[in-house]
Structure 1
Amino acid sequence: MVLNNIEKLLEKYENGETTLKEEQVLKNYFSSDTIAPHLEVYKPLFAYFLGNRQEQFTKDVPLKTKRNFNYKWISVAAVAVLMLGFYFSTSPTKSELGTYEDPQLAFNEFSKSMELISQKFNKGTSTVGYLNEVNKGTSTLGYLNEIENTTSIIFKN
Structure 2
Amino acid sequence: MNKYQLEITSTELIIRPYFGYLPKIRIFTFLSVIIFCFVPFFTQLDYNIRYILYGIGGIMLFYAIYDFIFRGSVKFLFDKKTNSIYKIYILSIRKRLMALDEMAIINTAEYGEMAYAIGKKKKQFIKNYPISDTFSGGKKSTARETEYIENILNPILEFVNKK
TM-score, L = length of structure 2: 0.21
Structure showing the higher strand proportion among its residues: 2
TM-score, L = length of structure 1: 0.22
Structure showing greater relative contact order (alpha-carbon pairs closer than 8 Å, 6 or more residues apart): 2
Structure showing the higher helix proportion among its residues: 1
Of structures 1 and 2, the larger Rg is shown by: 1
